[in-house]
Each structure stands twice: as structure tokens, then as C-alpha cells.
Amino acid sequence: MNKKDWKGLKDTFQVMLYFLGLTNRVSKIYIPTLLFSSLFKSAAPFINIILPKFIIDELMGQQRTEVFVQLIALIILGNFIFNIINKWFEMRVQVVNEELIYGLDLVISEKIADMDFQNIEDPEILNLRERALFAIYNEGAIWRLVENLAVMVSSTISIIGLTALILTLNGILIFVVLAIVALNSKIFMKVQKLRYEAGQKNIPGNRAFGYFGTLTSDFSLGKDIRLYNIAPVITSKVQNFTSQVVRVNTQHFRTEGKLNGLSAINLQFQLIIVYGYLTYRVFKGTMEIGSFTMYASATNSFCTSISTFVNTFIEVNQLCRYLELFMQFEQIENKSKAGTRAIELSERYVIEFKGVSFKYPRKEEYALKDVSIVINQGEKLSVVGLNGAGKTTFIKLLTRLYEPTEGEILINGININEYKYDEYMKILSVVFQDYKLLAFTIKENIALENADAVSDDEILKILKEAGLEKDLAKLERGIHTPIYKQFDKTGIEFSGGQSQKLAIGRALFKNSPIVVLDEPTAALDPIAEFEIYNKFNDLVGNKTAIYISHRLSSCRFCDKIAVFEKGRIIQYGNHSELMKFPHLTYAQMYNTQSQYYI
């Protein structure tokens, strides 16, 4: 075995240990259940291998009725007991399999939710994620790995027992079986390689089916599909991908069928050799009929066990190649949560961007360039600029969704990345333009994990402040009304304006000292946006507030205004100061939009 093969075995062993540990972490009883199940499965066949010999010997010899009855009863009782035990273990294995699958779903979900935001938008990470999850969900790689390891244990026990039995006859039979198994294992390795290659070729098609499946189950697309007759386009694309998958699978199964046929021919040669030798011994008078039956059954079982062991090992090795991708994905480091410093509870939080520049992953151009600004406690800052000016990137850096490429961001003079992530998040309430409501109740959407601990009156007070009091009064179940209809047909579909008020209510409930509105009202007309910003500004009180917009509805009541253009702050000051320069960006934008605010 060369160095490459040893390295492959070492890598396989490391992957096996990693996923055995992961499996045990998810379900403490999964591995013990499979091991005990394997032990009983491997022991059961010996009853039907050994005892028939004694029955046949008794029939061909003394023919004692009481001995014959005892042997038959022993076989029936033994098979009955082992069948009961094995059926019970089959049921338990199904149960723990479900537990493992759901547990792994939770592990994967937690990993994705915990992953640095910049990785979620990185194409290479997304590709790795897709390939890793394909192995888990489409190939069932983890539970198949553990299950196959249990099969290997069972096969090993059977091999040891059967080897000892066959050696009492002739050890050459073992080498004959091993030679045929080695030949068929080469064929099986080829089949596994073909399956892996076919699976990789079909990943784009499977992703497409997943996407189109999502389209057809997304009720929000129902109107567009009907009005624009999109169904034929979807059907055509599905047929194209189906043709690609069928073409790959046809070629694969044709080749696999030939290889499996060759393997079956090899097994027939093995049977000829084994049965020929055993028949020769019977005719020669050196073996009784009962022994013939026992050794024939033992040799066949040995062949099956050794083939199962080798083929399972090959499959485990192949599964480990799949699972290496998941290991890479699962072990991606979370840099944004590396802070260890406790954030001091204070009534004063001063934010400072100090020479901050930023490029998105795998991008050459800067999204922000040399941004320096100080936001004092209680200050209201309006960040304005055209789309693509860098406004949202500015907030993504403040909220630690990304780290600056150059420069640093400070809170009270300390780099924000030094603070414990969870503690840092507590001082920020942010409503992004693409905010999301969940298919929970209204109360749960506001209070989230604190929903059970918070009184209804407190939630009602927040929603009244957000301007939803009249809308709630029309709902029979009030704040306990589900949003959307995924889980409850009585769920409600809020309008855009109502949804935005709910998102703002969630930010108010969090009661953080720093509040950010990143264009959550962009879908509203300028007058409605102006009214919401005015109301929200009253609710914020003396908290630090940052308003992001390409419209200027928040500028009149803000202490400072930062005008962004191409990732830089090109103007900074209050409304009066910036209006003194009518030829510059801010005054031109304001005069263009002034009909909505005057």
C-alpha cells in the first residue's frame, strides 16, 4: 500500500471519528442501539447453519425421536427469540434514525444561523454549502455512514465465527472465497465511483428541481403565474433538466448493469468450486450429508459476510468523501463572534468610524472608502444618498455583519470586534429594508424568545406606539393572531404599511440604546414615509438614532446629515448648513423632493 492509500485511509478514519462524535452528540442512544442490533443479527444465522447438521445426522443415523424433536424445538425456539429481538431492534433503529435525522437538521440549521453573514453572501461558501447539504439530505450520508459501520461490526463477528467453523474442514476454501470477493470488490469500487460521478453531474439538476418545487409551492407567485402564463416556461425548464438527469442516469445504469452482471458470474464460479469440493468429499466418504449441509451453508454465509464487509467498507470510504465537504462547511470559523470583552452598561454610547474602508468578498472595488464619522450619544443622524452609495454597507459594518477591510469602528473608544457578540447585539435595534416577519403570532413576532414572559398589555402598548392600535382592534384574536397562513388558515396577511409598523414595533420592544432604520419604508410613498419617520423619531426619544434613506424625509429633524456618494461621505452637517450650498448634492436632492416635505 503506497503513501497515497495510507493517507486516504487516515482521512477516512478521521472523518469516521468526527461523524461518530457528531452522531453521539445528537443522539446518545443511536450508536449503542445499532451495535446491539448488529450483534443479534450476526448471531441469529448460526442457529440455521449448525443445528441442521445435527438434525440430518440424526435422521441418517440413530433416528431417535426425542433427540429429533429437541433439535427441531431448539431451532424453532431460537429463531423465534432472535426474530422477536431483531424485530424489536428494527423498530428501535427506525425511531433513533428519525431522532438522528431531526437532530442533524437542527445542527445544520444552527450552523447556518450562526455563520458569519459575509459567508452567507460568499459564492464559494454557498457552493460548498450546497454540495455539503446535498450529501446530507440527498445521499443520507451521515446515517448511512453510522449504519454501515454497524453492518461492518456485524459482518466482522460473523466472519470470525464462520472462519473458525470452515477451518475445521479446509482453509483453502477461505482463500477461494477471498479471491472471488477481492475481484468483485474491484468491480464494486468501480460502481461506487460511477455513482459518485453521476451524483455530482446531477447536482445542478437536483438544485433546479428544488428551485422549481419552491416556485410551485409558493402561493405568492400564484397571481403572476396565471396573469403572465408562466407555467409553460416552468414546465419547459423542468423538462430540460429532467432530460439531462435521465441522460446521465441512463448511461450510468447501463454501465453499472454490465459490472453487476460480471460480479454475478464470478459468484457462480465460486459456487461451482465450493459445491464441487464438498460433493467430492461426500462421494469419497470423508463427509456426512449433515456436514455437507453445514459447510455449504457456512461457506455461503462466509462469502456473504466478507463481501458485505468489503463492500460496506468501500461504501463507507465513498461516504467519507461526501462528508469531507460537510466537515469543511461545519468547521468554517465564525470570526464575527470572536470578541471576549464584556460591554459596559452605560447611558452613553459614542460611535466612531475611523478611516473605514470596505470591499465585499472577492470584489475589487471598494463599497466604502475612508469613512470617518463620530455619532454622539442621543444624536440623530440621517444617512442619505442615491442607491448604491454605500448607506446599507455602513450599517452592515456597524452591526458586525462584516468587518472593515481597513480602519476600525469604535464604541466608547473600543473596537466593536473586541466585545462579546451577543452582548453587543443587545445595544442595537435595527430595521432593515428587507425586514422579515415570521409565520408566528403577532405577539411572538414582536417579543420573539420573550413572548411567554411578556404580558399582553406591554405588547399592546408597543403596537399602539407603532400605530397599529386600530388594526389590532379589528382582529378577533388580537395579538395572538397568526401572521400568514402556513400553519393556521385564520392567519392574516398584513399590508406593506402594517408590516413595516410591526417591524418597527419589534425594534421598539427591544429597547436598545442605539436604533437604526435602514430604509424600511422604501416601498411607501414619500408622504407616508415622512409621517412614519416623524412618529418614530418621537418614540425614540433621547436614544441614538441612525436613519438611512435615499429620500430626505428624516433630514429636517436630525441633528446631523451624512451624504454618501460612491462609498464616501461627501457632505456632513445639519440641514441648514448643507442647504447653504445649493449646487451640491444634498441641496439638489432636497429641492427635487421638497414638494413632499414642505
CATH number at residue 173: 1.20.1560.10
Q: Are residues 378 and 521 in the same domain?
A: yes
Number of domains into which the chain is organized:
2
Q: Are residues 125 and 171 in the same domain?
A: yes
State how beta strands 428-432 and 514-518 pair.
parallel
Q: What is the pLDDT of residue 366?
A: 92
Q: Are residues 369 and 299 in the same domain?
A: no
| CA 514/CA 211 separation, integer angstroms | 39
Q: Are residues 361 and 323 in the same domain?
A: no
| CA 309/CA 526 separation, integer angstroms | 71
Q: Are residues 311 and 366 in the same domain?
A: no
- Please choose, from the candidates 27, 20, 14, 17, the residue with its C-alpha nearest in 3D space to the C-alpha of residue 101: 27
Q: Are residues 122 and 229 in the same domain?
A: yes
Residue ranges making up the domain that contains 587: 351-433+515-596
Q: Are residues 102 and 63 in the same domain?
A: yes
Residue 514 φ then ψ, to 5°: -120, 125
Please tell me which of 24-28, 154-158, 292-296 the model is most confident about, judged by mean pLDDT.
24-28
Q: Are residues 223 and 358 in the same domain?
A: no
Task: For residue range 341-387, list pLDDT tens digits in order.
Answer: 888 777 789 999 999 999 988 788 999 999 999 999 989 999 988 88
Question: Which three-class secondary structure state does DSSP give residue 168?
Answer: coil
| CA 516/CA 399 separation, integer angstroms | 10
Give the residue with greater pLDDT, 588 vs 57: 588
Whether pTM > 0.85 for this model: the answer is no
Q: What is the pLDDT of residue 569?
A: 94
Cα radius of gyration rounded to whole Å, the chain = 35
Q: Are residues 294 and 192 in the same domain?
A: yes
Q: Are residues 300 and 427 in the same domain?
A: no
Give the residue with greater pLDDT, 263 vs 470: 470
| CA 323/CA 247 separation, integer angstroms | 26
| Exposure b/e, 59-89, CB count within 10 A at least 16 = b | eeeeeeeeeeeebeeebeebeeebeebeeeb
Q: Are residues 385 and 274 in the same domain?
A: no
Task: For residue range 390-434, list pLDDT tens digits in order.
Answer: 998 999 999 998 899 999 999 999 999 999 988 898 899 988 877
Domain membership of residue 4 (yes or no) is no
End-of-domain residue from the set 295, 327, 359? 327
Domain membership of residue 445 (yes or no) is no
